Structure 1
Amino acid sequence: MTDVPTPIAVAPAAPPSGRGRAAGVFALVAAATLWSLNGPLIKLLVQDGVAGITIASYRSLIGAVLFLPLAWPRRHTLRGAARGWPLAAVLCFTGMTASFVIANELAPASSAILLQYTSPVWVFLLAPLLLREYPRWSEGLVLILAMTGIGIIVLGSPPAHLRGLIVALGSGLGYGLVTLTLRGLRRVDARVITALNALGSGLLLFGPALVWGTPHLGPRQWVLLLVLGIVQFTVPYLLFAWALQRLEAHKASLLLLLEVVLNPIWTWVAVREQPPAAVLQGGVLIIAGVAGQMLLAARRGQTQAQVPPPQSG
């Protein structure tokens, strides 16, 4: 969310009231908190000399090892997928994951996570073309807030961050494309899609990681990668899936926006990276626009909960 696990469309059961709902909220807050650790963990690895392409590949492979046992019993659901959709999902997920991590190398973590969460803008623009889905124009008007926020961040950031911001926007586009491909895989079990995307992206990035990445890793670097793959990637996905049985999808999506707020805080604590003023100003508009779009989509009963990409992630 992200950077990833992957955004996943899930149909939750009718949420219970009282204690079950409170437990669901707690689990979602915990999931968003763990997902928000991607910024500081990636920054610490980069400071230790680990290339972004290596981080992206290894984290996906670690996640795949953990998710494959969960997905294997449901692998038969992949047979119902239309030809080309699984491959498209893996390619889009790979692009999203790599661009998010590289954006964290080149620009502040706050910029990377905020611009990745502009994915609803891309979904709004591309859904009519790719899926023949036509969102309401009211949702587009609300997303103008997010687009204004993008402009403030890009125009107000130092020139040295420009390459990173462009890559981060590519991550947002990738996140949007992943969301669209997952809509084309509605009949496939979410665990199968997650494992497939993690394994596929890890393998696709492994070759480039050998050529352009960091060939030798020390004990501290392996520990950070394992924390990234297990604590930041796998555990929050399981919490998210459990919580969706207790909360409505649109409420879950709104709670997950907590990741955008916490990510820069943890990054500042870990590496003393302070978000630029333009990011703070534009970030408010992006969060407002994305939250508004989620609420409007919920009103017409088309909300899907989206897992942040683990770079989101």
Structure 2
Amino acid sequence: MSVTSKTASVPLGHYDDHAKGMLIAACGILVLSFDALLIRLADSTSYNVTFWRGALTCLTTALLCLCWRQRWPASPMFWLAGIAIASLYGVNTWLFVFSISHTSTANTVVILASAPLFAALFSRLLLHERVLRRTLIAIGVSVIGVMVVFAGSDSANSQSMGDLAALLLAASMGMMFTLLRRFQDLPRLPIIALAGAIAAFISWPLATPLTLEPASYGWLALMGLIQIPLATILVMTAPRYLPSTEVSLFMLLETVLGPIWVWLALGETTTIHTLLGGTAILGAISVNTWLALRKTPGKAPHGLTT
């Protein structure tokens, strides 16, 4: 008598692709998690860092566009959507650098972790997608978590401004995610290249890009030529093999790893308010994502053009 395994009907390639997707996502987030540390090591103003980060990222991704023959879409609607997304991405670059430069790394990444919840709200407002009760609960818990983080910031100095920049960044990223969901066929690399150019342009009037210490240029080159392009390509490739909800779980690793690298390299510590608020935000998002995975375990991911 032969016994047929229940898993025999599942192609082996499915597991290979899933494992490949997990490896790609993990590597992408690992590379991305050094972002805050590199900004700290560059040791310059937020305008100088944003200028070089944007300019070098633009250069690298523009070259990749030529090598991989990616072009800007011909449709006027996609043109406008691409420009809107690139503009948000460019502003996000400055907001992230400003936040890291004015508050703790932990505060920035913890508040930024609420971006998917902003995306859910914008999806409801712009795409008329239904927001589930569990997501509304997660949003409420995250709001409390952000308030706790703000309560631990010193309003007498610029730390509260850094926290506010992180909150604006989370909202802006939520809008960007919503537009990317609406226009899924947009090629990513041209958008990243234009976003880098926009980031460099908006920071240029207040930047002094040729007055940095020699060591700063090395860290900025590592960031703009290697780290950001590599992390972006890996993170955008992962959804080809994994559902987007699983990829979002890996994104939470940056919230944990980012402050760890800065602590190990520079000794920057985290306050109790950030730990408590971060626990609330990460817990809410993790539970919400886990419940989403249970509801749609076999849903195929939306492809991303890279």
Regarding TM over 0.5, the answer is yes
CA RMSD of aligned residues (A): 2.6
Mapping of residues 67-86 of structure 1, within 5 Å: 67-72=61-66, 73-79=69-75, 81-82=77-78, 84-86=80-82
- Compare 61-70 and 261-270 and name the one that shifted more: 61-70
- Equivalence for 2:258: 263
**Closer, same or farther in 2 for the Cα pair 1:54/1:305, shift >3 Å?**
farther
Q: Measure the CA separation in 1 of the matches of 2:87 and 2:266.
A: 32
Q: Measure the CA separation in 2 of the matches of 1:15 and 1:179.
A: 32
Matched-pair contact (CA < 8 Å) for 1:89–1:182: yes
Aligned equivalent of 1:285, options 255, 280, 288: 280
**Closer, same or farther in 2 for the Cα pair 1:252/1:125, shift >3 Å?**
closer
Aligned equivalent of 1:237, options 227, 232, 241: 232
Aligned equivalent of 1:188, options 183, 186, 189: 186
CA positional deviation for 1:281:
1.2
1:40 aligns with 2:37: yes
Q: What is the identity percentage for the equivalent residue pairs of Structure 1 and Structure 2?
A: 21
Amino acid at match of 1:169: L
**Closer, same or farther in 2 for the Cα pair 1:54/1:175, shift >3 Å?**
same
CA positional deviation for 1:286:
0.9
Matched-pair contact (CA < 8 Å) for 1:15–1:246: no
Q: Measure the CA separation in 1 of the matches of 2:204 and 2:12.
A: 41
Mapping of residues 1-313 of structure 1, within 5 Å: 16-46=13-43, 50-72=44-66, 73-79=69-75, 81-82=77-78, 84-159=80-155, 160=157, 161-209=159-207, 213-298=208-293, 299=295
Q: Measure the CA separation in 1 of the matches of 2:142 and 2:12.
A: 30
CA positional deviation for 1:177:
1.8
**Closer, same or farther in 2 for the Cα pair 1:304/1:153, shift >3 Å?**
farther
CA positional deviation for 1:78:
4.8
- Identify unmatched segments of 5+ residues in structure 1: 1-13, 307-313
CA positional deviation for 1:98:
0.8
- Compare 186-195 and 162-171 and name the one that shifted more: 186-195
Kindly tell me the number of residue pairs found equivalent between the two proteins: 287
Matched-pair contact (CA < 8 Å) for 2:52–2:209: no
Matched-pair contact (CA < 8 Å) for 1:27–1:243: yes
- Residue by residue, what CA displacement relative to the aligned partner does 1:119-149 show, whole Å, maximum 9, x if unpaired? 1232233333333333223311122221221
**Closer, same or farther in 2 for the Cα pair 1:249/1:15, shift >3 Å?**
farther
Q: Measure the CA separation in 2 of the matches of 1:226 and 1:77.
A: 29
**Closer, same or farther in 2 for the Cα pair 1:277/1:16, shift >3 Å?**
farther
TM-score by length of 1: 0.82
Amino acid at match of 2:165: V
Q: Measure the CA separation in 1 of the matches of 2:262 and 2:113.
A: 17
Q: Is the partner of 1:21 in helix, strand or coil?
A: helix
Matched-pair contact (CA < 8 Å) for 2:47–2:206: yes
Amino acid at match of 2:106: S
Matched-pair contact (CA < 8 Å) for 1:142–1:293: yes
Matched-pair contact (CA < 8 Å) for 2:240–2:303: no
Q: Measure the CA separation in 2 of the matches of 1:101 and 1:140.
A: 30
CA positional deviation for 1:79:
2.6
Q: Is the partner of 1:204 in helix, strand or coil?
A: helix
CA positional deviation for 1:233:
0.4
- Equivalence for 1:9: none
Amino acid at match of 2:56: I
CA positional deviation for 1:64:
1.4
- Equivalence for 2:4: none
Q: Which has the higher contact order (CA 8 A, sep 6+)?
A: 1
